[in-house]
Amino acid sequence: MRKRYFPMFFDISDKKVLVVGGGKIATRRVKVLLEFCNRIVVIAPEASEEIRALSKNDSLEWREVCFKEEDLKESEIVFAATNDKELNHEIGMRCKASQILVNVADNRSLCDFYFPGVVIEDEVVIGINTGGESPEKTKEIREFFSQHRIDLQNTKKS
């Protein structure tokens, strides 16, 4: 049977979320995470303009430093998204050893969970996933739903 990932809809509003890295992928993920969580720390010596701007809000703190092992102590969910493959791997392994939920952007086998494609419309949240087989397909489906927001609204009213 094909391996599938169960879509748990998880309350992360008060979880301590750590994102390591502040580039393209980290930015894409932070923007989605901020819809669900107000305790995000980003650790990265360099961060995108968007992360810099978002860090002016209380929900997001950007620390302009390199990752250190002790950063994990205060974290409950970790996203490793640096451009350093070895570091991402190390973060994944350390989280596993400490039973901290971890997602590693360049190594699906180290992920406790995958980042979904997300569509939000009022109280409706759609999460899309292909079990790691085709993120591109996830993106296509997410774009399809995003362009059909009217239909989602109509469904809700009927």
Ligand X SMILES: C[C@@]1(CC(=O)O)C2=NC(=C\c3[nH]c(c(CCC(=O)O)c3CC(=O)O)Cc3[nH]c(c(CC(=O)O)c3CCC(=O)O)/C=C3\N/C(=C\2)[C@@H](CCC(=O)O)[C@]3(C)CC(=O)O)/[C@H]1CCC(=O)O
Ligand Y SMILES: NC(=O)c1ccc[n+]([C@@H]2O[C@H](COP(=O)([O-])OP(=O)(O)OC[C@H]3O[C@@H](n4cnc5c(N)ncnc54)[C@H](O)[C@@H]3O)[C@@H](O)[C@H]2O)c1
Which residues of this chain interact with ligand Y, rule CB under 6 A?
A: 20-26, 43-47, 66-67, 81-84, 87-88, 105-106, 135
26 binds, among ligand Y, ligand X, none (CB under 5 to 8 A by kind): ligand Y
Q: Which is nearer to ligand Y, 25 or 32 (CB)?
A: 25
Q: Name the residue among 57, 59, 62 with its Cα closest to residue 26.
A: 62
What are the tokens at 23? 């580039």
Q: Which residues bind ligand X (CB under 6 A)?
A: 25, 28-29, 103, 105-108, 111, 114-117, 129-132, 135-136, 138-139, 142
Q: Which is nearer to ligand X, 23 or 116 (CB)?
A: 116
Minimum Å gap between C-beta 58 and ligand Y is 22
CA distance readout (Å), 11 to 21, 33, 36, 53, 124? 23, 11, 8, 25, 14
Minimum Å gap between C-beta 98 and ligand Y is 18
Q: Backbone dihedral region of 122: left (phi > 0), alpha (psi from -120 to 50 degrees) or beta?
A: left
Q: Which is nearer to ligand Y, 25 or 34 (CB)?
A: 25
Minimum Å gap between C-beta 156 and ligand Y is 30
Cβ atoms of 119 and 126 within 8 Å: the answer is yes
Place of tokens 């397909």: 137
Q: Which is nearer to ligand Y, 33 or 105 (CB)?
A: 105
Minimum Å gap between C-beta 93 and ligand X is 15
What value does the CA radius of gyration of the chain take, rounded to a whole number of Å? Answer: 16
Cα-to-chain-centroid distance, residue 102 = 10
Minimum Å gap between C-beta 65 and ligand Y is 7
